[in-house]
């Protein structure tokens, strides 16, 4: 299966993505993780990504698409994957040519997202309050058209992300009929 998980920062995408990957025995891939790894590289691309991420901005569409598609071309992803944090814009969704099975939206409020992130034991460099607020603002602004796009294609599953980890996972599994 090829599944995308979408949600604002703090919605539990990585937690649910890893659980779903284990259940389906397919790899989990986080674009946030990819970008954090790249941002540590002392390259022009790495430096650009670091500046954008630390300010809470999105990586440009063409760069994001190229990076994600290069990763998904690797042999470990040929039989399926759970992808988190992509696409973030309608342009990315329209240009992403994969035969997706489902797109899962983990719905949580902005307030809940801020509360969860502030309660984390380990705060990342790109998780300043200003960067998080900017990311939430950009998610709300740019991702709604993505959700509409996948809704029209009958691929979108909406899940209440404010339940317990176990309840969310159970709801996802039930909605995927696995």
The pair of structure tokens assigned to 172 is 């996802």
Q: Read off the pLDDT of residues 53-79 as tens digits, 9 standing for 90 and up.
A: 888 787 889 999 999 999 899 999 999
126 pLDDT band (50/70/90 cuts)? Answer: low
Q: Read off the pLDDT of residues 129-170 as tens digits, 9 standing for 90 and up.
A: 787 888 888 888 888 899 999 999 999 999 999 999 999 999
CA–CA separation, 15 vs 116, rounded Å? 13
Q: Read off the pLDDT of residues 30-40 as tens digits, 9 standing for 90 and up.
A: 998 889 888 99
Residues with Cβ within 8 Å of residue 91, at least 6 apart in sequence? 61
The pair of structure tokens assigned to 157 is 């599953």
Domains and CATH numbers, the chain: 2-176 (3.40.50.300)
Burial of 113 (0-12, 13-18, 19+ CB in 10 A): buried
CA–CA separation, 136 vs 149, rounded Å? 20
């Amino acid at each position: 299966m090829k599944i995308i998980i979408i949600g604002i920062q703090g919605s539990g995408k990585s937690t649910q993505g890893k659980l779903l990957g284990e259940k389906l025995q397919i790899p989990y891939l986080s674009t946030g993780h990819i970008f954090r790894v790249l941002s540590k590289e002392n390259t022009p691309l790495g430096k650009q990504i670091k500046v954008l991420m630390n300010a809470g901005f999105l990586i440009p569409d063409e760069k994001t698409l190229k990076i994600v598609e290069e990763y998904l071309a690797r042999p470990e992803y040929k039989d399926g994957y759970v992808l988190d944090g992509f696409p973030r814009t309608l342009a990315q969704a329209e240009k992403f040519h994969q035969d997706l099975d489902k797109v899962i939206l983990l719905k949580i409020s902005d307030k809940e997202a801020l509360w969860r992130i502030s309660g984390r034991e380990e705060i990342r460099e790109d998780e300043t309050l200003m960067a998080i607020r900017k990311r939430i603002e950009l998610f709300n602004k740019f991702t709604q058209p993505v959700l509409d796009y996948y809704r029209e294609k009958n691929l979108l599953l909406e899940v209440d992300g404010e339940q317990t980890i176990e309840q969310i996972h159970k709801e996802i599994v039930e909605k995927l009929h696995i």
